[in-house]
Amino acid sequence: MAKPKVFATHQLFEEARQILNAACDVEYWANEERPPREEVLRHVKDKEGLVCLLTEKVNDELLRVAPKLRIAANVAVGYDNIDVATCTKRGVVATNTPGVLDETTADFAWTLMMAVARRLAEGEQLARSGNWKGWNLDQLCGADIWGKTLGLVGFGRIGRAVARRALGFQMKVIYTDAVKAPEEIAKSLNVEYRDMNTLLAESDFISLHVPLMPETRGLFDSPKFYRMKPTAFLINTSRGPVVEEAALVAALDAKKIAGAALDVYENEPFIHPGLKRPNVVLAPHLASASLETRTNMAVMAAKNVVALFTGQTPPNMLNPAVLNKF
Ligand code: DGY
């Protein structure tokens, strides 16, 4: 029997390719540059499976040109690029990669927090410039992290992993979320719930860990920045559109907050020019980018595809209702 045809918008890692190739006839996008939209639409036309990155919109336009498609496997936990409702309507399984990137992403939220607080980017630039004149008492003095208050907006798996790391820094950790964490988790991580406005007022560092949804789009707007301490920093490893970049730039201009460290942007890969300033650390969407974790993410996506085509339920289905359609 012919193997199901799959298009992967990336070459993926060898471990994932092996899993996919064993069960599917896979066409991998071979260029280093991501495929232009028209190429994705052209390649997906006759395919039953799609493995895609978060940069690929799986929407009505794509689903209409791919009538045979049965699964869209996202190599990411965030799936705001996938129109899940339309997938369900069209009988297409949508999957993501939850869990495998929590610790790596939490590591990176901390990387950003430490970098912006301790002015690492400025220091690195000085060290490389040839202009460093040696140690000086008031040189590039940043802010302490230990003993400060960390405010987590979103207290799911990644937020909790960030909180766990804070224990070693003797920080006070507070969080806000639509749903309060079970008491035993709050106790074991030594965190306390706050409503959003109280969290904004109390935190020295605010780290965002919410998915992008209608409720969180533009969540960090001008009034939020004006409620923060002028000495506080914003860290964003969630999704760019959770923060209104123009409002963030205005808050930085007005010194309403001390700085920011960002991994994600409103219109990636565009970065608002007003963010390119010394007290803002900028990373190009790297939070899950350890080789181990990115490999695990690709493997997970491959397993989701193979599960469907071998008659099993894909382990990370976003729309289980779709199975009733088969
Ligand atoms: C995700 O998985 O959603 C991240 O943004 C990329 O790792």
- The strand pairing partners of 94, in sequence order, are 72
Residues 106, 55 share a domain: no
Name the residue of 104, 105, 236 whose CB sits within 8 Å of the most ligand 1 atoms, as the mutation to test its pocket: 105
Query: Which residue among the candidates 43, 239, 244, 294 is catalytic per the annotation?
Result: 239
Query: Which residue's CA is minimally distant from atom 3 of ligand 1?
Result: 78
Q: 181 and 157 in one domain? A: yes
**Residues in Cβ contact with 260 at an 8 Å cutoff, skipping those fewer than 6 apart:** 116, 233, 234, 235, 236, 248, 252, 275, 279, 280, 281
The H or E element that residue 108 is part of is helix 102-117
- Ligand 1 atom at minimum distance from 96 CA: 2
Is the CB of residue 288 below 6 angstroms from any atom belonging to ligand 1?
yes
Tell me, what's the pLDDT at 258? 98
Range of 33's domain? 5-99+291-325
Closest CA relative to residue 206, chosen from 187, 219, 189 = 219
- In the residue annotation, 43 being an active-site residue is answered as no
Q: Does the annotation count 285 as an active-site position?
A: yes
Count how many Cα atoms sit within 13 Å of the Cα of residue 201 in the half-sphere of its side chain.
5
Asked whether residue 58 falls in the same domain as residue 152, the answer is no
As given in the structure block, the two tokens for residue 92 are 């297409």
Note whether 255 and 312 are same-domain residues: no
Same-domain status, 311 and 193:
no
Burial class (CB in 10 A: 0-12, 13-18, 19+), 229: middle
Q: Verify that 276 and 135 share a domain, yes or no.
A: yes
Residue 239 and residue 305 in one domain: no
Residues 295, 276, single domain; the answer is no
Same domain, 74 and 217: no
What value does the CA radius of gyration of the chain take, rounded to a whole number of Å?
A: 22
User: Which residue's CA is the closest to the ligand 1 atom numbered 6?
Assistant: 76
pLDDT value for 79: 98
Sequence-distant (≥ 6) Cβ neighbours of residue 319 within 8 angstroms: 84, 87, 88, 93, 94
Report pLDDT for 1: 84
pLDDT, residue 208, reads: 99
| Domain count along the chain | 2
The answer, yes or no, to whether any atom of ligand 1 lies below 6 A from the CB of 9, is no
Q: What DSSP state is assigned to residue 68?
A: T
Chunked in runs of 10, what are the mean pLDDT values of the chain (326 residues)?
Answer: 96 98 98 96 98 98 98 98 98 98 98 98 98 98 98 98 98 98 98 98 99 98 98 98 98 98 98 98 98 98 98 97 77
Q: Are residues 132 and 192 in the same domain?
A: yes
Based on the domain organization, do 251 and 237 belong to the same domain? yes
Query: 215 with 242, same domain?
Result: yes
Q: Residue 305 and residue 279: Cα distance in Å, rounded? A: 43
Domain CATH number, residue 129: 3.40.50.720
pTM over 0.75, yes/no: yes
In the prediction, which pLDDT does 324 show? 74
Cβ neighbours, 10 Å, residue 39: 14
